[in-house]
Amino acid sequence: MTRRVELSKRVRRQLQKMPRHIVENLAAWVDDVETRGLEEVRKVPGHHDEPLHGDRRGQRSIRLSRAYRAIYVVRSEGEIKCASVEEVSKHGY
């Protein structure tokens, strides 16, 4: 069960420039994953957790707002699985 979330260096830099509500939404998702586990949090419809396709195959995204997404990857480190947030960006429509 995945209960650990790591924010990449890139994401930590990006969050310094993001609107406060985006930072708070990502923090709430991280807390939820670390408390309940990623498998349970994926079932929450409000996060719109979905697998990505094409060049981003193997990655997943969650919705932080209508415009912003967080991209993450699940990695295995021995027996420990970790969700690594790779990018927070404004989604183009």
Domain boundaries, the chain: 4-90
Instruction: Inform me whether the pLDDT recorded for 19 exceeds 80.
Output: yes
Q: What would the CATH number be for the domain defined by 4-90?
A: 3.30.2310.20
Query: Side by side, which strands form the sheet with 4-7?
Result: 4-7, 80-90, 68-77, 60-63, 50-51
Say what the pTM is. Answer: 0.88
pLDDT in tens, 32-78: 999 999 999 999 999 999 999 999 999 999 999 989 999 999 988 66
